[in-house]
Amino acid sequence: MSRLLLEMHDVHLTYRLRKSLLRSVYHPVINGVSLNVHQGQRLGIMGHNGAGKSTLLRLMAGIYAPDRGSVINHGARVSLLSLQAGFDPRLNGWDNALLSGVLMGMSTKEARQRLKGIHEFCELGDQMNDVLGTYSSGMRARLGFAVALAMEADLLLIDEVLSVGDQDFQEKSEKAVMHAVNQGCAMVLVSHSPIKLKKWTDSVMTFEEGIISPATLEMGCI
Amino acid sequence: MHTKMTDSGAISRLIQVAWLRAIMGLKSESRGTRLGYLWWIVEPAMHLAVYYLAFGVLLKHGGDDYVAFLLIGIVHWLWFSKSIMNASQAILVGRGLILQLPLHTGIFPLSEILRDLIKQVIVVAILMLILSSMGYLPTTYWLIYPVIFLLQILLTLPCGGLVAALMPFIPDLRVIVPACLQLAMFLSGVFFSSDLVPESFHWLLNLNPVFLLLEAYRDILIRHEQPDWHMLASLLAALLAFNILVIALYSRCNRQYARIIQE
């Protein structure tokens, strides 16, 4: 069996909504999820809007701590593919790539070394020297994707994206993700679209009412 | 335990990220205005000019040393109050990033404090030029300056960190903090020296760390005497304890912030 990257064991999470000073309403989102992610695995999680998919990814990425249960990371570099994290419209492409890369988890030195690769991948040419405020949304997305890809993560967590820029760039970015997965990077993709999940992943689980629905357990993901 | 990272690794990453955010923040800030980096000099110069006109020229208040006394007070008070104000909002402003990436919450107030620290270095250089041109020429006492400066950093860090940490729980602080800072300005001897205060209240002034620091700056820069080292030593001990307390608070609450901000 390939290396175990991430382990979730009976994870629970409840949001608390404050109604007034003393009264709160509790809204359980994750009700006992257990799953393992191994190296090279491509796991799809299907759920409708508001099912708690993004919350689940945030738990995996270590942004949230669970209320109960445990999320154990076995030394994997987990990257929640958060495009354009920390982008500043008043800085140029180079500075934004550097800043975003460091926020995502690179050291300043690593980020500097990877700037050239990022520049090549995003195909922005001389416009890298312009401030981000002048970019079109497609150009921003390309830069964001190039930085996220340069992370060289062990586990990529993807929330509905992979539709970046125009047709050509989309194909290129899909290829790049596939290449990373073939190199041994694991991937968890959450989506409400079964077609997308079928195309991208090798096992799909349905996620409803805070639990991974039992019908999909036999697919060998646990 | 989520990621396997040694403590020293985590701390050096925290500082690295905060530093880069500070530098990039300064760069971005300067591009947002026409004068750009010049504002770093113009803004404090404007403040100094206003206070100089009001107190030094119009009111003709105080003795010969009063203008220099006032300028030193203003420069260091403004640094303290600005750092606290900027740091206090840092976690709320960083909301988007905290929900996107597993970042240590301490990065947000720290990068604001670093940003104000970098600007302050320039302001201090200007202050020293002004003092020299007023006839307060540099002496060996000026060599003590970095020690007092460092003490002020040790005061700003936990104060700013604490206010930033509390802000998401008590949003009302947004109103309370500026009011408290205003009050603190009048209690910290920015405008008056301890001679104006009855002897029986001096112990109260000495409990105020900002007052102690401002007096120490004045001792070395214009009065050409040693600062009150006993006082500063006890201040250092208290500040170290305060810093440790706030760091402990952050390492305890760090990962709860994403939830608190979301809820």
Give backbone dihedrals phi and psi of A82, rounded to 5 degrees, phi first.
-105, 95
- Which residues does B contribute to its contact with A (CB < 8 Å)? 1-4, 13, 16-17, 20-21, 24, 27-29, 31-32, 97-103, 255-256, 258-259, 262-263
pLDDT band at B2 (very low <50, low <70, confident <90, very high): very low
| DSSP 3-state of A135 | coil
Taking residues B22-48, report their average pLDDT: 87
| B48/A217: higher pLDDT | B48
Q: Which residues in chain B are closer than 8 Å to A65, comparing Cβ atoms?
A: 2, 255-256, 259
Query: Residue A201: its pLDDT value, please?
Result: 84
Q: Residue B149 above 70 pLDDT?
A: yes
pLDDT above 80: residue A164: no
CB spacing of B27 vs A75 below 8 angstroms: no
The answer for residues whose C-beta is within 8 angstroms of residue B203's C-beta and 6 or more apart is none
Per-residue pLDDT of A36-74, as tens digits, reads: 998 888 888 888 877 888 889 999 998 998 999 999 988
Confidence of residue B4 (pLDDT cuts 50, 70, 90): very low
What pLDDT does residue B182 have? 93
**pLDDT confidence bin for A169, thresholds 50/70/90:** confident
Residue A215 has pLDDT above 60, yes or no: no
Residues of A with a Cβ under 8 Å from any B Cβ are 15-18, 58, 61-65, 71-75, 78, 80, 82, 85-86, 88, 90-91, 95, 98-99, 102-105, 107-108, 131
What does the mean pLDDT of chain B come to? 89
B contacts of A62 (beta carbons < 8 Å): 2-3, 102, 255
The model's pLDDT over A145-156, given as tens digits with 9 standing for 90+, comes to 899 888 888 898
Interface test with B, best of A68, A71, A90, A95 (most B CBs within 10 A): A90
* Average pLDDT, integer, range B55-83: 83
Q: Which of B16, B29, B102 sits opposite A61 (nearest CB)?
A: B102
Which residues of chain A does CATH 3.40.50.300 include? 4-77+187-219, 80-186
Average pLDDT score over residue span A92-97: 95
pLDDT band at B262 (very low <50, low <70, confident <90, very high): confident
Please judge whether B255 and A104 are an interchain contact, meaning their C-beta atoms are less than 8 angstroms apart.
no
The pLDDT value recorded for residue A220 is 43
Q: A13: closest CA among A77, A58, A76, A75?
A: A58
CATH topology of domain A80-186: Rossmann fold (3.40.50)
List chain A residues with CB under 8 Å of B27. Answer: 90-91, 95
Nearest residue, CB atoms, B263 vs list A16, A104, A105: A16
| Rounded mean pLDDT, A148-171 | 78
Which of A21, A103, A157 to mutate to probe the B interface, most B CBs <10 Å? A103
Residue with tokens 């738990």: A59
Three-state SS string over B157-194 comes to HHHHHHHHHHCCCCCCHHHHHHHHHHHHHHHCCCCCCH
Superfamily of domain A4-77+187-219: P-loop containing nucleotide triphosphate hydrolases (3.40.50.300)
- Give residue A145's pLDDT: 86
Q: Residue A7 has what pLDDT?
A: 92
pLDDT at B62: 59
Query: Does residue A78 carry a pLDDT above 50?
Result: yes
Q: Report CB contact under 8 Å: A64, B103.
A: no
Of A73, A85, A90, the CB nearest to B28: A90
For chain A, give the mean pLDDT: 85
Q: In chain B, pLDDT over 70 holds for what percent of residues?
A: 95
User: Closest-CA residue in chain B for A85?
Assistant: B97
Which of A112, A142, A113, A114 is closest to A127 using CA atoms? A142
List of residues 6+ apart from A96 with CB closer than 8 A: A86, A87, A88, A132, A143
Chain A positions in Cβ-Cβ contact with residue B17 (cut-off 8 Å):
102-103
Q: How many CB atoms lie within 10 A of CB B150?
A: 12
Alpha-helical regions (H) of chain B = 7-31, 39-51, 66-93, 95-100, 107-133, 145-166, 173-187, 202-206, 209-221, 229-253, 257-262
Mean pLDDT over A76-81 rounds to: 82
Q: State ipTM.
A: 0.85
